[in-house]
């Protein structure tokens, strides 16, 4: 094949053979790939579909054997009954306040830390970055006990003296629910990767216009970080919304319970009300689905860009 014939190729007409077609027919490999992807997609969505269908069955049908796939009678009343079973309005409000607070704090502070690690030359920057990466490798549950003791002995809070003795500190308070874990090392790392990908000419142009370091961060660089902000915001909101262990440990009063802990109300001593639990779980999943639908484009772009540097 000559160089001209290899370089100059006619553009394929609409409906003609493409990269996935041979003589107008799909390649066998692509058919197999699509079949595998469809099968995996069905496997991934199956638990969610089963949860929705279970939430619409009667208790007798849920406990029957063999189990049925579709409800014989669609029990839409399970949803209002589940909401009336426990103060889920309070649980939703608490989860929303905590998730939004975590998201705002994490985006703002992690963006500042990521910018400093990516753009500001200072002594010990590499060591500090290694420490941030090292904290990502510590298992979450190994931090529960130290984090609990720190919250309990927080000075001057919850009746504690200045040495952190005599009271409950941040336990059973909004402080204990919001402050611990509000800034994550993963968010700092993602922001650093994004700031590294921005050209240095933008930074120099900001300095020529008389901006200080914070002005360059806030007015030049950060407005270009929409994929990073969306990625960190979605991950933080999802982790905070689905958090179960820490709110269960740090709170005692019903007024501070979150939605994930509130779902345990359907687990009785003698039986579990699966139809109500599934209905509550479906309602608890809706905010995450809506948030992901609005940010999925930036979410995928964010992770794709983070791997460049």
Question: How many Cα atoms are found within 13 Å in the side-chain-facing hemisphere of 228?
Answer: 29
The CA-atom distances, in angstroms, between 248 and each of 125, 145, 150, 236 are 37, 13, 16, 19
Give a three-class secondary structure readout of 162-225.
Answer: CCCCCCCCCCCCHHHHHCCCCCCHHHHHHHHHHHHHCCHHHHHHHHHCCCCHHHHHHHHHHHHC
Q: Residues 220, 225, 231, CA angle at the centre, nearest 5°?
A: 160
- Scored b (16 or more CB within 10 A) or e, 287-302 reads beeebeeebeebbeeb
pLDDT at residue number 274: 87
Domains of the chain, first to last? 31-75 (no CATH), 88-307 (1.10.3720.10)
Rounded Cα–Cα distance for residues 171 and 158 (Å): 8
By the 10 Å C-beta count (0-12 exposed, 13-18 middle, 19+ buried), 56 is classed as buried
Least Cα distance to 260 among 276, 245, 279 occurs for: 245
Compute φ and ψ for 221, nearest 5 degrees. Answer: -85, -50
Q: Can you give the pLDDT of all 309 residues of the chain as single tens digits?
A: 443 444 444 444 444 444 555 556 667 788 899 999 999 999 999 999 999 999 999 888 888 888 888 888 898 998 998 888 888 888 889 999 999 999 999 999 999 999 999 988 889 899 999 999 998 888 888 888 989 999 999 888 888 888 888 888 889 899 999 998 889 999 999 899 889 988 888 888 888 888 888 899 988 888 888 888 888 998 899 889 988 889 989 988 888 888 888 888 787 767 788 888 899 889 888 888 888 888 777 766 666 665 544
Least Cα distance to 305 among 167, 192, 153 occurs for: 192
pLDDT at residue number 7: 40
By the 10 Å C-beta count (0-12 exposed, 13-18 middle, 19+ buried), 279 is classed as buried
The structure tokens 């919250």 sit at 151
Rounded Cα–Cα distance for residues 266 and 22 (Å): 56
pLDDT at residue number 304: 63
Q: Which H or E run includes 150?
A: helix 144-152
Beta bridge partners of 157: none
pLDDT at residue number 112: 94
Least Cα distance to 180 among 232, 245, 233 occurs for: 245
Rounded Cα–Cα distance for residues 36 and 42 (Å): 10
End-to-end alpha-carbon separation of the chain, Å?
A: 39
What is the phi-psi region of residue 221: left when phi exceeds 0, alpha when psi lies from -120 to 50, beta otherwise? alpha
Q: Are 53 and 274 a contacting pair, CB within 8 Å?
A: no
| Number of Cβ within a 10 Å radius of residue 243 | 20
């Amino acid at each position: 094949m000559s160089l001209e014939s290899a370089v100059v190729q006619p553009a394929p007409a609409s409906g003609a053979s493409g990269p996935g077609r041979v003589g107008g027919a799909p390649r066998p490999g692509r058919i197999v790939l699509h079949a595998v992807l469809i099968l995996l997609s069905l496997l991934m969505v199956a638990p969610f579909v089963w949860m929705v269908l279970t939430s619409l069955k009667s208790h007798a049908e849920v406990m029957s054997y063999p189990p049925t796939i579709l409800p014989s009678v669609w029990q839409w009343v399970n949803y209002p009954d589940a909401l009336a079973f426990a103060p889920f309005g309070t649980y939703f409000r608490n989860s929303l306040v905590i998730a939004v607070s975590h998201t705002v704090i994490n985006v703002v502070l992690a963006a500042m830390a990521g910018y400093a690690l990516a753009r500001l030359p200072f002594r010990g920057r590499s060591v500090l970055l290694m420490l941030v990466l090292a904290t990502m490798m510590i298992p979450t549950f190994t931090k529960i006990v130290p984090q609990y003791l720190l919250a309990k002995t927080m000075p001057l809070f919850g009746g504690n003296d200045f040495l952190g003795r005599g009271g409950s500190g941040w336990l059973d308070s909004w402080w204990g629910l919001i402050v611990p874990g509000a800034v994550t090392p993963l968010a700092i790392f993602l922001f650093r990767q994004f700031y590294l990908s921005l050209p240095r000419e933008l930074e120099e142009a900001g300095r020529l216009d008389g901006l200080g370091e914070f002005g360059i961060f806030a007015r030049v660089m950060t407005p270009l970080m929409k994929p990073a902000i969306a990625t960190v915001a979605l991950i933080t909101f999802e982790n905070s919304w689905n958090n179960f262990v820490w709110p269960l440990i740090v709170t005692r009063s019903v007024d501070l319970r979150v939605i994930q802990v509130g779902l345990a109300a359907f687990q009785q001593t003698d039986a579990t009300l699966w139809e109500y639990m599934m209905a509550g779980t479906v309602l608890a999943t809706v905010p995450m689905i809506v948030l992901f639908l609005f940010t999925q484009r930036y979410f995928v772009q964010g992770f794709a860009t983070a791997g460049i540097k």
